[in-house]
Structure 1
Amino acid sequence: MVKAVVLGAAGGIGQPLSLLLKASPLVDELGLYDVVNTPGVAADLSHISSRAKVSGFLPKDDGLKNALTGADVVVIPAGIPRKPGMTRDDLFKVNAGIVQTLVKGIADFAPKAFVLIISNPVNSTVPIAAEVLKKAGVFDPKRLFGVTTLDVVRAETFVQEYSGQADPSQTFIPVVGGHSGETIVPLFSKAKPSFQIPGDKYDALVNRVQFGGDEVVKAKEGAGSATLSMAYAGFRFAESVIKAQKGEKNILEPTYVYLPGVSGGDAIAKETGVEYFSVPVELGANGAEKAVNILEGVTDQEKKLLEAAIKGLKGNIEKGIDFVNNPPPK
């Protein structure tokens, strides 16, 4: 039996993500939580003839507790969406508080669950979640993930003309670093199967992977951000975590983790100078089994990208930790 929970289930990412989880044969029970509209979303999804039983909860009547109790996997897309001209960092003040509150609920009601954080800025919200879980005495670094899969999905898609793959998802492209702008580093030199990118196309391709979210915000003319592609990416990562939990082997996914708490992560933390970093991670029954150091032998271009990413990440990580340890005045 697998119970998946979506916190922020009535939002732009939460609804399509909940639909994908409802349609998945891997999910037996689906708990939905949000501050508005969740019973309606749950009722709508419950009419779909798939395996999962769905229930929706609001904050009243111990809704968060009831949604989380018995959870195996918790996905958090809760928060306000990015608006035109807004950086992921602008979202920080609002979304940091939301994530902090929800993770306190996980610490209380589902401390053994795998926690998958989508809420931006991921570079900061994952450290926030870790600090909350540490204070509650239930932090397991192998079970906390920042979902960076959308960066991977975009990289796979945008290189299709060079990779030649009819199904772009069959190209493995490790995307390392973080999950915003220059902290996103696609390692095209490590792609499998390998392919060549023309020299005059490289910078634009990297920029498109790093700032693909802006492309969507602009195309939606202020009416939203990357919700559907993010829901797909969140589901893809959740599905990998569930498959690994069920015993499937050789599942490798780039994800933003607390390196010192994952086997193989210490060496990467020393090399990069940051404790939180997205690298390919082998997933297993207990979550993050091993962090894979893919940074050896990168190109000079990629080294420069990594330097910029690490510089940005240091500030993002400190900001998240400081938010919990030195709360802003209310």
Structure 2
Amino acid sequence: MVKAVVAGASGGIGQPLSLLLKASPLVDKLALYDVVNTPGVTADLSHISSIAQIEGFLPADDGMKKALTGADVVVIPAGIPRKPGMTRDDLFKINAGIVKGLIEGIAETCPDAYILIISNPVNSTVPIAAEVLKKAGKFNPKKLFGVTTLDVVRAETFVQSITGERDPSKTVIPVIGGHSGETIVPMFSQAKPEVKIPEDKLDALVHRIQFGGDEVVEAKGGAGSATLSMAYAGFRFTESIIKAAKGESGIVEPTFVYLPGVQGGEEIQKETGCDFFSVPVHLGKEGAEKAENIVTKANDYEKKLLQKCYEGLKGNISKGVEFVQNPPSK
């Protein structure tokens, strides 16, 4: 029996993510939680003829606790979306507070669950989650993940025009670092099968992967952000976690983890100077089994990208830690 929870289920990412999880044969129970509209979303999805039994909760009557009780996997897309001209950093204060509250609920109700954070800015919200869990004495670094899969999905998709591969997901491209702008580093040198990017197309391709979210915000005329593609990416990662938890072997996904708490992570921490970093992680029943150090395999072009990544990421991480250790005055 697998119980999955979507915290922030009524939002732009939460609704399509909940739809995908309701349709998944891997999910037996699905609990939806949000501050508004959850009964309507739940009623709508409950008409779908799939395995998952679905329930929806609002904050009233201990709704968060009821949603989280017995959870195996909690996916958190909660928060406000980016608006035109808004950086991921602008979202920080609002989304940081939302994530902090949800993680406090998880620490109290289902501390052994896999926690998958989508809420932006991931570079800061994952460190926030770690600090909250540490304070509660419930931090298991092998079960806390920042979902950076959308960067991987974009890399696969955008490279298709060069490779001509019919199914872009068959090209494995590790994307490492963080989950915003220049902290996103696609490692084309490590692609499988091998990918040859023409030099005159490389800069534009990297930029498009790093700033793909802006492309969607502009295309939607400011009326939305990358919600559908993010929901797909979040679902893809959630399925990988559930499959690994059920005992399937050989599952490797790039994800943003606390390096000192994962086997192989300390070596990457020394190399990057960052406590949190997205690298390919081997997933198993206990969560993050091993972090793969592909940083050392970077070519000269990727090394330059990584230097910019480290600079930005360190600030993002310390901002998240600071938010919990010295909360802003209200």
Amino acid of the structure 2 residue aligned with 1:132:
V
- State how far apart, in whole Å, the 1-side matches of 2:164 and 2:252 are: 22
- Kindly state the Cα deviation for residue 195 of structure 1 after the two structures are TM-superposed: 1.5
Aligned counterparts, 1:52-67, within 5 A: 52-67=52-67
TM-score by length of 2: 1.00
SS of residue in 1 equivalent to 2:111: coil
What is aligned with 1:306?
A: 306
Aligned length: 330
What is aligned with 1:216?
A: 216
SS of residue in 1 equivalent to 2:296: coil
- Kindly state the Cα deviation for residue 297 of structure 1 after the two structures are TM-superposed: 2.6
- State how far apart, in whole Å, the 2-side matches of 1:235 and 1:93 are: 26
What is aligned with 1:182?
A: 182
- State how far apart, in whole Å, the 1-side matches of 2:61 and 2:120 are: 28
- Kindly state the Cα deviation for residue 211 of structure 1 after the two structures are TM-superposed: 0.0
CA shift digits 1:179-232 (9 cap, x unpaired): 000000000010000021110000000000000000000000010000000000
Give the unaligned 5+ runs of structure 1. Answer: none
Give the unaligned 5+ runs of structure 2. Answer: none
Q: Does residue 33 of structure 1 match 2:60?
A: no
- Kindly state the Cα deviation for residue 116 of structure 1 after the two structures are TM-superposed: 0.2
What is aligned with 1:251?
A: 251
- State how far apart, in whole Å, the 1-side matches of 2:309 and 2:173 are: 17
What is aligned with 2:81?
A: 81
SS of residue in 2 equivalent to 1:242: helix
- Kindly state the Cα deviation for residue 163 of structure 1 after the two structures are TM-superposed: 2.2
- State how far apart, in whole Å, the 2-side matches of 1:5 and 1:195 are: 37
Point out 4+ residue stretches in structure 1 off by more than 2 angstroms: none
What is aligned with 1:193?
A: 193
- State how far apart, in whole Å, the 2-side matches of 1:227 and 1:238 are: 16
- Kindly state the Cα deviation for residue 164 of structure 1 after the two structures are TM-superposed: 2.4
- Kindly state the Cα deviation for residue 298 of structure 1 after the two structures are TM-superposed: 1.4
CA shift digits 1:96-151 (9 cap, x unpaired): 00000000000000100000000000000000000000000000000000000000
- State how far apart, in whole Å, the 1-side matches of 2:55 and 2:77 are: 17
CA shift digits 1:61-101 (9 cap, x unpaired): 00000000000000000000000000000000100000000
Amino acid of the structure 1 residue aligned with 2:237:
F
Aligned counterparts, 1:1-330, within 5 A: 1-330=1-330
- State how far apart, in whole Å, the 2-side matches of 1:182 and 1:304 are: 11
CA shift digits 1:33-80 (9 cap, x unpaired): 000000111111010000000000000000000000000000000000
- State how far apart, in whole Å, the 1-side matches of 2:3 and 2:101 are: 21
- State how far apart, in whole Å, the 2-side matches of 1:195 and 1:252 are: 19
- State how far apart, in whole Å, the 1-side matches of 2:27 and 2:109 are: 20
TM-score by length of 1: 1.00
SS of residue in 1 equivalent to 2:132: helix
Amino acid of the structure 2 residue aligned with 1:131:
E
- Kindly state the Cα deviation for residue 296 of structure 1 after the two structures are TM-superposed: 2.0
- State how far apart, in whole Å, the 1-side matches of 2:288 and 2:300 are: 29
- Kindly state the Cα deviation for residue 299 of structure 1 after the two structures are TM-superposed: 1.1
- State how far apart, in whole Å, the 2-side matches of 1:89 and 1:67 are: 29
Given that 1:163 and 1:194 are in contact with CA atoms closer than 8 Å, whether structure 2 keeps it comes out as no
